[in-house]
Amino acid sequence: MASEGEHTSGRDTGGKLPNPAICRARPAKLPDMAYCLVRDPTECEHVRYFNEVAYCTHPQREAIIAKTVTQEERRAADA
């Protein structure tokens, strides 16, 4: 399991991306994309790289972003 502040990768868990239990993302200013926060997302069919930055193009990326924000808020409240 990833430590606090560290994002899980598909390879670490043996999971295949995209995977709702693994995927994490933040809003990006590019249309139809979000920053992918998963370590080593190279096997995900929805990852796109620009200038060595991983972007998520998953059709449900807004839900992934919302889940990421909620988890980060909970972690901050517990700190």
Q: Which bin fits 38, alpha (ψ -120 to 50), beta or left (φ > 0)?
A: beta
Residue 16: per-residue pLDDT: 82
Whole-structure pTM value? 0.78
Query: Taking 50 as the threshold, does the pLDDT of residue 69 lie above it?
Result: yes
**What is the residue extent of each domain of the chain?**
10-78
In contact, 44 and 38? CB cutoff 8 Å:
yes
Query: Taking 70 as the threshold, does the pLDDT of residue 47 lie above it?
Result: yes
Q: How far apart are CA 46 and CA 56, in angstroms?
A: 6
CB contact set of 65 (below 8 Å; sequence gap of 6+): 25, 26, 27, 34
What's the mean pLDDT when you consider all of the chain?
Answer: 85
Average pLDDT over residues 4-22: 64
